[in-house]
Amino acid sequence: MLRVALFLGVLACAPAALACEGGDCPANCPMSSQTAQNDDVDAAAGTKIVLAIDGMHCGKCADHIAAALEAVDGVNAASVDYTTGRAKIAFDAKKTNVDALIAVVKQTDDFSAKVDDSKS
């Protein structure tokens, strides 16, 4: 009985990101919805690209990659969704290019990335 109470107490205090580890992010979790960030990318000026990223397992991974992409000179907006394994990026092709963006993702904790040519 005490073990159950301790387990429930730990679960109640666990950060929301832990619930996302298995892909079972609750609907109210800020990491489950990328709509606002996707809208920002769609509205941003520049060339748009979608990258398929392997190796992400939670929203924190996505946040880490998004921050790295947004730090690149020439990136106007970036949205990364770990549930789909995709990053949407709007960038100025005069300042950066797709190969540089892929390199940034790969340097961020050794994730892998490639251009996503799928229509889904």
How far is Cα 22 from Cα 42, in angstroms, rounded to an integer? 29
Domain 36-120 belongs in CATH node 3.30.70.100: yes
Question: Domain-by-domain residue ranges, the chain?
Answer: 36-120
pTM value is: 0.69
Q: Hunting for tokens 């990223």 — which residue is that?
A: 53
Ordered per-residue pLDDT tens for the chain, 120 residues: 544 444 444 444 444 444 444 444 444 455 444 545 667 888 899 999 999 999 998 889 999 999 999 999 999 999 999 899 999 999 999 999 999 999 999 998 879 999 998 755
**How far lies 14's CA from each of 2, 7, 64, in Å?**
18, 10, 20
